[in-house]
């Protein structure tokens, strides 16, 4: 009987079901991108979904969502809590950045530090009321949404601040090759290059990008092998060898393909390096550290976690303080992308971040979700926006489709939990 169970667990059908269950959103993302590609060919006569420029555009357009989703997931893990103030915080920090960098001509590094500190203080303000006064997060962050938007409008006096100095834009709105070789790869100079100079420019961009991609893949493979070996040595549960090898092959292939596309445009955007750092840090924090696991414990059962010795108040304080910090990071990225600090900045950003987390597999009740899933959810939202815009679908319909997708994601989560209980 035991032999039959082992054989069944290792069967191709069982593996296919497990693969589908573990990577549902990733598979759906690929299917949706392929669908948009086909629709563009049928309706427009040509397709741009997988072109280098469009891949770069998707990354740049959704950079703020990817950053905010990482912080929002930590709040959601604590029990389905959310932060409604992130859009207003982005607007306020952007406004302060504009006043310091553009109007006051302050050096860039001190201005960035001040902006990050403002985000931390705002996050700590929310966290203190939520964690120690025990006011519901919805009320505190709803108040923050109104408060910080009003302060931002006062700081800006209803006006837009622009343009930002090129040195600042190079930090968040340029490309990796241009950072290291600005004289040759400056975008404005590149437009005037012809013939051999243009070919040399393209070669340098592609070679630099692929070298970085290769290094990333080697580090990723080495870390995965070491991590698996450590878990096996300690007797922890690990995935089967076939799944592990398949993942070791597929992920580097995807990284190389994406970087190949980026290399044929301008190279790797500097903001993508920042996003990668955020994703790697918070993935490690949530999955491999004790304080990170506390977030899941509170979301699973807050009373049991508290009785087990977890300081739930401090964990909640950290989650919302961290959200304020990442909102400030997103603000620095946004003002560089738009080259301005505007009173309308940050509108609906909180909804994009929340939607990304739930679409990426986070539970509406907390205790379930990963940074990787939130990233896939953010990319999925970006692909939806990009694909529908290319097809010329009205903005009102785009909002309706995104709302429906979010509802379906939450329904799927709830139905799955009910089935597991039965």
pLDDT at 406: 79
Q: Residue 190: which pLDDT band, with cuts at 50, 70 and 90?
A: very low
Structure tokens at 211: 């070298």
Of 200-204, 313-317, 398-402, the poorest mean pLDDT is in: 200-204
pLDDT at 41: 85
- Residue reference for tokens 């930590």: 74
Taking residues 65-73, what's their average pLDDT?
94
Tell me the C-alpha distance between 153 and 142, whole Å. 17
**Mean pLDDT rounded to a whole number for the chain:** 84
Provide CB contacts within 8 A for 100, sequence distance 6+: 106, 111, 114, 115
Q: Which one of 42-56, 167-181, 319-333 scores highest in mean pLDDT?
A: 319-333
> Which residue did the predictor score with more confidence, 178 or 231?
231
Tell me the C-alpha distance between 230 and 1, whole Å. 32
Q: Residue 179: which pLDDT band, with cuts at 50, 70 and 90?
A: low
Tell me the C-alpha distance between 364 and 357, whole Å. 9
pLDDT at 9: 44
Q: Is the pLDDT of residue 178 over 70?
A: no
> Which residue did the predictor score with more confidence, 27 or 315?
315
Indicate the helix (H) or strand (E) that contains 388.
Answer: helix 371-390
Give 246-302 pLDDT, tens digit per residue.
Answer: 788 888 888 888 888 888 888 888 899 899 999 999 999 998 899 999 999 998 888
Q: Residue 390: which pLDDT band, with cuts at 50, 70 and 90?
A: confident
pLDDT at 85: 93
Q: At what angle do helices 63-77 and 371-390 cross, to 10 degrees?
A: 140
Taking residues 58-76, what's their average pLDDT?
92
Q: Residue 19: which pLDDT band, with cuts at 50, 70 and 90?
A: low
- The pTM of this model reads 0.87
Structure tokens at 215: 């290094």
Taking residues 172-200, what's their average pLDDT?
59
Main-chain phi, psi angles of 175, to 5 degrees? -130, 150
Taking residues 101-117, what's their average pLDDT?
93
Give 204-227 pLDDT, tens digit per residue.
Answer: 788 888 888 899 889 888 988 888
- Contact predicate 238/244, CB 8 Å: yes
Tell me the C-alpha distance between 354 and 367, whole Å. 15
- Contact predicate 162/341, CB 8 Å: yes
pLDDT at 7: 38
| Three-state SS at 341 | strand
* Percentage of the chain modeled with pLDDT above 70: 87
Taking residues 23-44, what's their average pLDDT?
82
* Percentage of the chain modeled with pLDDT above 90: 37
The DSSP 8-state label assigned to residue 79 in this structure reads: T
Provide CB contacts within 8 A for 44, sequence distance 6+: 390, 391
pLDDT at 13: 59
The DSSP 8-state label assigned to residue 82 in this structure reads: -
> Which residue did the predictor score with more confidence, 45 or 136?
136
Give the DSSP letter string of 88-121: HHHHHHHHHHHIIIIIS---HHHHHHHHHHHHHH
Q: Is the pLDDT of residue 236 over 80?
A: no
Q: Residue 177: which pLDDT band, with cuts at 50, 70 and 90?
A: low
């Amino acid at each position: 009987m035991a032999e039959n169970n082992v054989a069944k667990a290792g069967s191709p059908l069982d593996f296919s079901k497990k693969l589908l269950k573990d990577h549902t959103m990733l598979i759906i993302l690929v299917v949706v991108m392929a669908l948009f590609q086909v629709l563009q060919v049928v309706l427009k006569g040509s397709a741009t979904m997988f072109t280098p420029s469009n891949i770069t555009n998707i990354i740049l357009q959704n950079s703020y969502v990817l950053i905010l989703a990482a912080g929002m997931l930590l709040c959601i893990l604590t029990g389905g809590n959310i932060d409604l103030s992130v859009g207003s915080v982005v607007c306020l920090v952007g406004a302060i950045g504009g006043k310091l960098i553009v109007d006051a001509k302050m050096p860039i590094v001190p201005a960035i530090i001040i902006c990050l500190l403002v985000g931390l203080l705002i996050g700590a303000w929310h966290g203190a009321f939520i964690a120690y006064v025990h006011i519901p997060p919805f009320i505190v962050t709803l108040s923050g949404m109104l408060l910080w938007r009003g302060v931002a409008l006062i700081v800006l006096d209803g006006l837009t601040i622009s343009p930002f100095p090129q040195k600042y834009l190079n930090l968040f709105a340029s490309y990796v090759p241009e950072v290291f070789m600005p004289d040759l790869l400056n975008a404005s100079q590149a437009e005037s290059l012809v013939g051999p100079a243009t070919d040399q420019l393209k070669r340098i961009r592609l070679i630099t990008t692929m070298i970085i991609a290769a290094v990333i893949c080697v580090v990723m493979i080495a870390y995965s092998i070491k991590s698996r070996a450590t878990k096996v040595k300690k007797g922890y549960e690990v995935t089967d060898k076939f799944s592990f090898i398949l993942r070791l092959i597929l992920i580097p292939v995807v990284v190389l393909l994406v970087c190949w596309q980026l290399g044929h445009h301008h190279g790797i955007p500097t903001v993508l390096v920042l996003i990668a750092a955020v994703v790697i840090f918070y993935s490690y924090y949530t999955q491999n550290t004790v304080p990170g696991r506390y977030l899941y414990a509170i979301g699973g059962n807050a009373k049991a976690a508290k009785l087990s010795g977890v300081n739930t108040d401090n964990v909640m304080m950290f989650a919302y303080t961290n959200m304020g910090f990442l909102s400030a990071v997103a603000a620095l990225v946004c003002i560089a992308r738009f080259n301005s600090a505007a009173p309308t900045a940050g509108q609906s950003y909180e909804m994009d971040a929340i939607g990304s987390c739930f679409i990426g597999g986070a539970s509406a009740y907390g205790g379930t979700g990963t940074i990787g899933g939130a990233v896939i959810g953010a990319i999925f939202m970006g692909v939806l926006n990009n694909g529908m815009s290319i097809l010329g679908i009205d903005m009102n319909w785009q909002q309706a489709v995104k709302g429906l997708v979010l509802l379906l994601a939450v329904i799927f989560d709830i139905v799955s939990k009910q089935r597991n209980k039965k």
